[in-house]
């Protein structure tokens, strides 16, 4: 959470799961730009090995109801 707090970002969702021996972290934040995503990914990588980062724009990420979801950052 400190990575987000340093930039006064408050995730709208945050979850983690252990999948095949790897920790999968997924979070959604409003109005993230590509440079901020890169910084967050780099900061996560300083504390743990980050295998990949995915950023889905709000208009492409759809929720179960079909409504657009906020920008998402997933690191595995």
Domain ranges, ordered by start, for the chain: 2-75
Q: Which of 2, 65, 58, 59 is nearest to 29 (CA)?
A: 58
Q: pLDDT digit of tens for each residue in the chain (76 aa)?
A: 788 888 888 888 888 899 888 888 888 888 888 888 888 888 888 877 777 777 777 655 444 444 444 444 555 4
Q: Which of 18, 48, 7, 75 is nearest to 56 (CA)?
A: 75
Q: Are the C-beta atoms of residues 27 and 47 closer than 8 Å to each other?
A: no
pLDDT digits (tens, 9 = 90+) for 56-70: 776 554 444 444 444
Alpha helices in the chain (DSSP H): 2-5, 34-47
DSSP, collapsed to helix, strand or coil, labels residue 67 as coil
Q: Are the C-beta atoms of residues 28 and 12 closer than 8 Å to each other?
A: yes
């Amino acid at each position: 959470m400190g990575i987000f707090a340093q930039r006064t970002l408050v995730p709208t969702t945050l979850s983690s799961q252990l999948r095949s021996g790897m920790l999968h972290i997924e979070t959604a934040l409003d109005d993230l730009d590509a440079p901020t995503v890169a910084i967050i990914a780099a900061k996560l990588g300083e504390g743990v090995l980050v295998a990949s980062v995915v950023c889905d724009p709000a208009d492409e990420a759809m929720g179960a109801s079909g409504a657009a979801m906020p920008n998402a950052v997933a690191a595995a």
